[in-house]
Amino acid sequence: MQEIIKPIIEEIKPGYQRSDKKDPISLATADASLSHIPPCTKAMEAIVRAVLRKPHTASYTHACGALDARRAIAAHHSVPGHPSLDPEHVIVTNGCSGALELVLASLLDPGTSLLVPQPGFPLYEEIAASNGANVLKYRLDPNRNWEFDMDHLEEILNNNDHKIRAMVINNPSSHGAVFSEKHLLKLLDFALKHRLLIVSDEVYGDLTFGNNEFHPLAVVAGARHGSQVPVITTSGLSKQFLVPGWRIGWATFHDNVWGSLHNIEAGARKLATLQHGCVSHLQQSAIPTLLSPKTQGLADWKEQFRATLEHQARFLCSELDANCNGLTMLSPPQGSMYTILRLDLDCFCNSSSSVVIANDVDFCRELVREENVFVLPGSSFGVPNTVRVAFSAHDSILEQASSRIAAFCRRHTRRQEAVVLQEVVPQQQQHNETE
C-alpha cells in the first residue's frame, strides 16, 4: 500500500506553495478529519474518575488486561441466552491492529495461508507476510452490497492445496458494507463445510446507518449456528468512541463445541505475556463505562454520532454522484466511514486533456496535482480502477472537496461530452429538416 500511495502523497503541498493557493484536503483516511466531532464525553469522564478515585490504575496490570476491563468486554461479546463468555477468553491489546497482529501471529506459520477479503484492510496481508504466510484473496461483490462472493470462495477452496489456517472478515467494513444475519449464516455454513476458523474484525462495531443492523459474528455463530464454527473477534474503542490515540483494542475467543481454539488461544496468551505493559491500565479503566448499556447518556451520544456520519455520507455521495462524470457509486455506504467509487476509464481516456489517466493511481496523483485533494486509489487495497473516499470530515470540507473533484472530472472528460453533443445535434437538425 505504501509503495502505491507514496508518489501520490509526495505531490501534496501546503496552499502557500501552490500558485492556486488551494490548501490540501484529504479524504483518504477518516481519523484525521474527525476534529469537528469531539470524542465520547463518557470516555473522558471515566478517565477523570479513574485518576481521582482509582489510584491503582497507575500500577501495572495483568498481561492480558485488567480484570474489570476483561469482564466488561466478555459481557459485551456474550451470546444472549447462552453461557457468558469468560474473561479468561479476552485479551486487551494495543488497539485493534494489535489484536489482529496477536491473533494472526498465533495462527500463522511459514508456508500456511490466510483468506483475506478484496477489498480489504492491507494490514491483514502485511501481518501474514511478517509471519511467512501466504494470502488468498476472496472477492466481495459490489453489485450485492459487497457481500461475499460465495462461488469464488468455493473455487479457492476447491483449487488450492494451501494449508489455510483461517479466514478474515471485516464487518462493518472499511468500505461501508454491513452484512446481514442471513448472509453471515451462509458464511458460517461455508466455514463449517471447509473446517475454517474465522477472524472477525469488528472495529467499526455498530456504526451503521438506516435499517442496516450490525450482527456480531460470534453471536450469530453461537445463538443461530450451534457454536460449530470457532470465531475470534477483534475490536476496540478507537472508531466507535473517537479515541484512536488511546490504542485500546481486544481479542475475544469464541470456541466451538469441539474446543478447536484451545491451543491457538494458549499461544495468543503467551504472546500477550511477551508484550506485557503495552496497554495503559488507566485507559483500560474506561472500558466498563463505554461497554455498559446502563451508562446514562451513552446511547444518545452514539446515536448522534451515527446520525452525523450518515448525513455526511449521504451529502458527499450525492455530490459526487450528481456532479462527477466518470465516477460511479458502486454501493451506497451502509456503515463505517468510507465508500468506494468506480472510475470509468473510457471516459477519462477520451478526454481532450494532455494528461493521461489510465488507472486509479493516475487519477489520484493528478487529482492531488491539480486540486490538492487526496483520495485513496483502489489498487492499494486490492480493487483496481476504483477510489475510496472518507466521508467523516465536516460538511464544509466535504463540499469543498466534492467541488474540486467535480471540476477535475469536467476538465478531463470534456471530449466525451463533446462527442455525445456532436451525435445529438445532427439528429436534432435532421429532425427539424424533416418537420
Task: Point out which residues pair with 341 in neighbouring strands.
Answer: 329, 387
* Helical axes 395-412 vs 414-434, angle rounded to 10°: 70
Both 264 and 349 in a single domain?
no
**Overall pTM > 0.85:** yes
Q: Give residue 419's pLDDT.
A: 43
Residue 104 lies in a domain: yes
Q: Which domain holds residue 97?
A: 41-291
Residue 427 lies in a domain: no
Q: Give residue 353's pLDDT.
A: 66
Structural domains in the chain (count): 2
- Would you place residue 32 in the very low, low, confident or very high pLDDT band (cuts 50, 70, 90)? low
- The residue whose grid cell reads 464487518 is 171
Query: Which helix or strand (DSSP H or E) is residue 353 part of?
Result: none
Residue 426 lies in a domain: no
Strands 248-254 and 90-94: antiparallel
Could you count the other beta carbons within 10 Å of the beta carbon of residue 332? 15
Both 357 and 336 in a single domain?
yes
**CB-side exposure of 405: number of CA atoms within 13 Å?**
30
Query: For residue 142, which amino acid is it?
Result: P
- The residue whose grid cell reads 472518507 is 390
List Cβ neighbours of 13 (8 Å cut-off, separation of 6 or more). 24, 372
Residue 36 lies in a domain: no
Q: Give residue 414's pLDDT.
A: 63
- Would you place residue 417 in the very low, low, confident or very high pLDDT band (cuts 50, 70, 90)? very low
Both 239 and 371 in a single domain?
no
pLDDT digits (tens, 9 = 90+) for 55-64: 899 988 999 9
Both 112 and 250 in a single domain?
yes
Would you give the end-to-end CA distance of the chain in angstroms? 60
**Environment class of 43 (CB within 10 Å of its CB; exposed 0-12, middle 13-18, buried 19+):** buried
Task: Point out which residues pair with 374 in neighbouring strands.
Answer: 26
SS3 category, 170: strand
Question: Which of 241, 262, 291 is the last residue before a domain boundary?
Answer: 291
* CATH number of the CATH domain containing 52: 3.40.640.10
pLDDT digits (tens, 9 = 90+) for 92-101: 999 999 999 9
Both 161 and 265 in a single domain?
yes
Contact 204, 390 (CB under 8 A): no
